[in-house]
Amino acid sequence: MTGHAPDATRAPGFVRTYLWSTDHKTIGLQYMLTGMAMALIGAFAAYVFRMQAAFPGASVPLFGRVAAADYNYLVTMHGTIMIFWVAMPVLLAGFGNYLIPLMLGCDDMVFPRVNRLSYQIFFLSSVVLVASFFVPGGAFGGAWTAYPPLSANSAYSMTPFGSTLWLLAVALEFVAFLLGGINFITTTMNSRAPGMKMFDIPIIVWTIMIAAVLFMGSVGPLVAGAVMLLFDQVVGTGFYDPARGGDPVLWQHLFWFFGHPEVYVLLLPAMGIVAEVMVVFARKKLFAYRTIVYSAVATGIISFFVWAHHQFVAGIDPRMASLFSVTTLIISIPVAEMFFAYIATLYGGSIRFSTPMLWALAFVAEFLIGGVTGIFLGSAGSDIYFHDTYFVVAHFHYTFFPIAFLAAFAGITFWFPKMFGRMMNETWGKVHFWGTIIAFNICFIPLFITGTAGDHRRIFDYSMFAELATPEMQSLRILATRALLVTLAFQVVFVVNFVYSLFRGTVAEANPWKANTLEWLAPSPPPHGNFVTMPVVYRGPYEYSVPNRDEDYWPQHEPDEPADPDAPGARRPLQQPA
């Protein structure tokens, strides 16, 4: 025993604290910051290809002339990065890792080392993806959906190394999220604070857990599909080659069987963030909590039965399309239910327009547009026309942009004081908000119009198409690009505010927003191990504005007041849970 310094009492060094950490908060922040760094690449790609779309043939500042092959790989990498390397790491892994143990009142994930491995593999996958820009032949340009035979055979794609690295990177990313998902599910099931029942779990923990289940359930077949694609690429098998008995449509089914649930893998955590923010700034109990949980579960289940709505015109049996059209419209029911409940949550509130709340409200307002335009595409008859047009592009950006940016900004500005112990600047936060929201809409509304007029996707120059090469259409494309430039410029405000507040922001208390959930009990920022004393839970997460109380919030960990055991919300008997 003598001279033995136990690890627990010694402060971990820099490497252990920041690079090789098993702490869920560090891993969450690593995911988040990596995701934000990848967002810069994804946004840069969008900037370059939009400049080409608006000013075909012109030399783009910081890039140069955009050849057809460049356009293709920029679009492909933009889509791949934004979905797999921005939305997934920030929303699911970033917020999931950071928040789940804190909100459940435990000290870490169930398998901290698996968690560390998950991030390390994710980091490796990012390196592989970025490396694919620099290999001979260039990066893969066959769209983020990577349909074979184009993706399977370099004689068609002309990117022998780019295709393979793209596939490897995506496969590694899947492994990373499979490992992370195990933790989300087991921790939520097993590590809740004493007294926290299933319906005392904050919505965001539910939605992240459901998202993890969806991901794990849908990605398996695609991993198998990816291995087959890899074999087609490198050893010349013919799984997707009709000349050798393969079938290219097989990939489409595997891809979309994963790809559609994936949309909800991203949407659900975003919905969770928005719920947490809305209740705090409306000082309201979440409307119909249980209905929201059930709707999220129902959405998850139905999302496994809609995939072929991406393939209506892909040569599947046309009678099958009817079936998928029906399931697709059915999924609108639970999603609509969730949005109705969110809007109803505002009823009777006392709404404060702090920056996180602005982002959350904008999420609801903008996502509605994305949601209703999806009906045009889920209805098989009209999808014949809209499929693969810019209408689709505009539609899914009205879903993805709110998810990956609006909800993420709501979450970052909301939990920033917890993460870093300082407040972000409100004024600059609002400048960033209004600039982003207005410019974003001006960017994508014109694209609905060009899509309706027939602009098809992934086209680097429309001059070959008489119906599309008109001055009116070009002016819409230019408008969209100008708005993109403005959107991007406003992100500088965010970065400056973020970095400045990190070092100079006013110091935050533990619970600056007067919120109920357990993470606000921990010091800001929470130390290793999270809580000074481990919390016990007495009530649900959303007891705001409870009548006959002085305070308009009632944290989950505060024991009931003996004075009024009959007060609404004080449903728990008074004894300490064992």
Partner 1 sequence: MISWLLPQASTFASTIDGLVLLIAVIVGVWLILAEVVLFGFIWKYRARDGIRGQYVSGEDRSQKKWVSYPHYAVVVFDIIIIVAALRVWNEVKVAAPPGEEQIRIIAQQWSWTFVHAGPDGKLDTPDDIRTVDDMYVQRDRVYTFELHARDVVHSFSVPAFRLKQDAIPGRVIHGWFRPTREGTFDVQCVEMCGVGHGLMAGRIHIGSAAQYAAWMTEFRTTAATANRITGSTPVADVAAHDHVGTAGGTR
- Residue 324 as a binder of partner 1 (CB under 8 A): the answer is no
Q: What angle do CA 27, 515, 192 make, to 5 degrees?
A: 55
Using CA atoms, how far apart are residues 153 and 234, in angstroms rounded to an integer? 9
Tokens of 140: 């893969």
Helix (H, G, I), strand (E, B) or coil at 60: strand
- Considering the complex, state which of residue 4 and residue 319 has its C-beta at the smaller distance from partner 1: 319
Using CA atoms, how far apart are residues 484 and 489, in angstroms rounded to an integer? 8
Kindly tell me which residue out of 27, 87, 201, 357 binds ligand HEM, with binding defined by CB under 6 A.
87
Using CA atoms, how far apart are residues 460 and 332, in angstroms rounded to an integer? 34
Which burial class, exposed, middle or buried, applies to 183 when counting CB atoms under 10 A from its CB (0-12, 13-18, 19+)?
buried
Binding residue count for ligand HEM, defined by CB under 6 A: 24
- Residue 392 as a binder of ligand HEM (CB under 6 A): the answer is no
Reference 425, options 499, 522, 350; nearest CA is: 499
Pick out residues in 401-420 that bind ligand HEM (CB under 6 A).
401, 404-405
List Cα–Cα distances, 420 to 90, 411, 514, 526, 533, in angstroms.
17, 13, 17, 9, 20
- Considering the complex, state which of residue 348 and residue 577 has its C-beta at the smaller distance from partner 1: 348
The half-sphere exposure of 522 on its side-chain side, counting CA atoms within 13 A, is 28
501 within 8 A of 415, measured Cβ to Cβ: no
Tokens of 296: 């999220």
Pick out residues in 138-197 that bind partner 1 (CB under 8 A).
141-143, 145, 147-150, 156-158
Pick out residues in 458-477 that bind ligand HEM (CB under 6 A).
458
Pick out residues in 230-289 that bind ligand HEM (CB under 6 A).
none
Give the x/- contact pattern for ligand HEM in 431-450, rule: CB under 6 A: ------------x-------
- Residue 82 as a binder of ligand HEM (CB under 6 A): the answer is yes
50 within 8 A of 138, measured Cβ to Cβ: no
Kindly tell me which residue out of 26, 76, 295, 516 binds ligand HEM, with binding defined by CB under 6 A.
76
- Residue 6 as a binder of partner 1 (CB under 8 A): the answer is no
Cβ of residue 144: shortest distance to ligand HEM, in angstroms? 4
- Considering the complex, state which of residue 25 and residue 253 has its C-beta at the smaller distance from partner 1: 253
Does the CA dihedral 448-451-455-457 come out positive or negative? positive
Kindly tell me which residue out of 397, 418, 477, 557 binds ligand HEM, with binding defined by CB under 6 A.
397
430 within 8 A of 358, measured Cβ to Cβ: yes
Interacting span for ligand HEM (CB under 6 A) from 45-53, 153-161, 245-253, 531-539? 45-53
Give the x/- contact pattern for partner 1 in 375-404, rule: CB under 8 A: xx--xxxx-xx-xxx---------------
Interacting span for partner 1 (CB under 8 A) from 1-9, 100-108, 259-267, 358-366? 358-366
- Residue 75 as a binder of ligand HEM (CB under 6 A): the answer is yes
**Interacting residues with ligand HEM (CB under 6 A):** 43, 46, 49-50, 75-76, 78-79, 82-83, 86-87, 143-144, 393, 397, 400-401, 404-405, 443, 457-458, 484
